[in-house]
Structure 1
């Protein structure tokens, strides 16, 4: 299998500890860390997995701004259970915009990426509101997407996947795949499953394959009601020890409003390996998008961003993955400078000790308010993390 070899730096970057003063949660916040930041880079949308050698792998997008036309996917690695992080390596970079990455860990130790590349047209920037970005930035991007290399890369604009059999050091040649914002799962029967949403307007599609080197087949659709008021997307799935598969789904109000009261997470479940699903139902959890994790003690953790005041990151615990209570919500961060944040993903470092990784500006609340258009010299979001312990009230 052809490989794209990456050179990893040999020196560690220590993860700086950030101040901890969050009295509005029962969780024990051990420390906040910075995994990667760069003054002129907009870093966002992380995915997380534990490799076969026990390293923790985080993928994320580095670009200029949220709507820039030329993002790239980077990989950060921790070899000491999340305490320090190697400098990131570029793992996927095409002539167009590479802006999404998910990770699936396979039982045999391989890692599977779910990537998505987008080729923007000039109309993309012509249709943006005048307050979206400074005119000079829009003009530069509009010129960029008119370059021959960019305009002729239509074939790259789709979902892709790569496979690593050496813990993410090298990756196979990209092959067509299915987009999955956080990644999929390997079922107990050995097949692979992902939930997607861009190929089935208004609903969530479920895709399966016996191996990442064989084509994916769509096997089910999850019915999501109220299409006139809510746009559903960015689902994540998890198979419980019982065999049941649960799904959480982002809901965003139409027209787009990420602070709307309608932005509750929705849920569904399957008891036949994803062939059929219960109709999606609304949960009391407000925020998005979801990431699911079954903990060592059997409980299910759902992590999500919180884009209304106080801005930050949250999580919730459930005994069964079906019933969720807002009273069981844990506030991980409530100090973000603005709502340009979220997409938290979690991994259990040790029983009861969690690392949650997300993106947000690494500055105090009130020091970097959201602006329209955003100031290009502002502090842009970085990839941050919180190491925390489960609330004592859940013992």
Structure 2
């Protein structure tokens, strides 16, 4: 599908389909779905909210079902990095495609031999005001360079500036997703994943700027380097310098979610134990703090019965509830990568990618629910 066809097909209002489920008052809506297309991985892009206005990013590609043991996306056909916006608390959504956020085309290079065209790094002329009312930030992979890219918006994601360089420090390279906490006008803490010393994924750490992104410093490692990996932190603030992060962990064939705590603003981290003992083939966490102070963690379960799950902690992450389904009915393992926000009325909007038996495409869905 070429760019013109993609844009034309995406210009239609994306109406939400709602369905109540037995678990309380949860309702499921469709954020983006097209026949023959693949929508995936909101956790790689980010989610942002301003009251009942919610913006989420994800990958839109072409479905390819020749090997269902892998993600059924046609890498040679290219992919788009897109956004979807809701103005009514997550019930209805419209697709957006900012030109600045589009990735380079390494798959085109492999097919046609054309050079890989990377976006030019922009100099950050003045500090970013992280408390700006319309701020949105996203961290992206730098495709062949060792650091990461930072894109910034001050108009609620309608236009983006960057990419700005984020250094790799003393690591072989960075594997960024979007996980950050605003600490002040020019101070930001970022959950980041670095490559291990052997160049493989991965090991998370905390990253901080105190001058609006002009300079950065590496803080503490979140967990040790192991033969497996620890990646994709999801971090919440619990108080002054008190943060909790859930990371995706793999040891041999075991996939789990693990909790870490810092009480010194990210300089040192202490393991608190397992948040979810089994995530099937592995999935990252979405972590939010509810209005009553509880921590709420949503994740995809990539083994039968293939569903979205939730666990809750009422003691700042020291212990967690038994996992319960948030959404059931997926037809295979390729799902999840959620991101969540808490609405002003206290309800949670969790966005993820999903599949069902009605057709093979992967689509972006949301569940609006009360923990």
**Which TM-score band (shorter chain)?**
0.7 to 0.9
> 1:309-324 alignment to 2 at 5 Å?
309-324=304-319
Structure 1: stretches of 5+ with no match in the other structure: 1-6, 99-103, 119-153, 368-377, 391-395
Alpha-carbon distance change, 111 to 381 in structure 1, aligned in 2, over 3 angstroms: same
* Distance verdict in 2 for CA 1:242–1:214, change over 3 Å: closer
- Alignment of 1:248 with 2:272, yes or no, is no
1:49 equivalenced with 2:45 (yes/no): no
Query: Is contact 1:340-1:360 (8 Å) kept?
Result: yes
1:33 to 23, 26, 29: 29
- Which residue matches 2:160? 171
Q: Output the CA distance in 1 between the equivalents of 2:234 and 2:245.
A: 6
Unaligned runs of 5+ in 2: 1-6, 63-71, 108-127, 167-173
Specify the alignment match of 2:204 in structure 1: 204
Q: How do 1:156-167 residues align onto structure 2 when only pairs under 5 Å count?
A: 159-167=148-156
Q: How many residues align?
A: 314
Q: Residues 240 and 189 of structure 1: is their aligned pair in 2 closer, same or farther, counting only changes over 3 Å?
A: farther
Distance of 1:189 and 1:167 partners within structure 2 = 17
Deviation at 1:197, TM superposition (A): 1.8
Q: 1 CA distance for matches of 2:256 and 2:16?
A: 33
SS in 2 for 1:203: strand
Partner Cα distance (1:179, 1:294) in 2: 25
CA–CA distance in structure 2, aligned partners of residues 284 and 80 of structure 1: 32
* Structure 1 residue 381 displacement after superposition: 0.9
Mark the CA change 1:169 to 1:90 in structure 2 (over 3 Å): closer, same or farther: closer
Aligned CA distance change for structure 1 residues 340 and 29 (closer, same or farther; 3 Å): farther
Moved over 4 A (4+): 9-12
What residue in structure 1 maps to residue 67 of structure 2? none
| Cα distance, 1:200–1:211 mapped onto 2, change above 3 Å | farther
Is 1:286 matched up with 2:281?
no
Q: For the Cα contact (< 8 Å) 2:28–2:367, is it kept in 1?
A: yes
User: Given the alignment of the two structures, is residue 389 of structure 1 paired with residue 370 of structure 2, yes or no?
Assistant: yes
Aligned to 1:107: 131
Higher relative contact order (CA 8 A, sep 6+): 1
TM-score (norm 1): 0.71
Task: Quickly say closer, same or farther: Cα 1:192–1:59, change in 2 above 3 A.
Answer: same
Aligned residue in 1 for 2:92: 84
For 1:246 and 1:28, the matched residues in 2 are separated by 28
Would you say the 8 A contact 1:182–1:291 is kept in 2?
no
Separation in 2, partners of 1:11, 1:336: 26
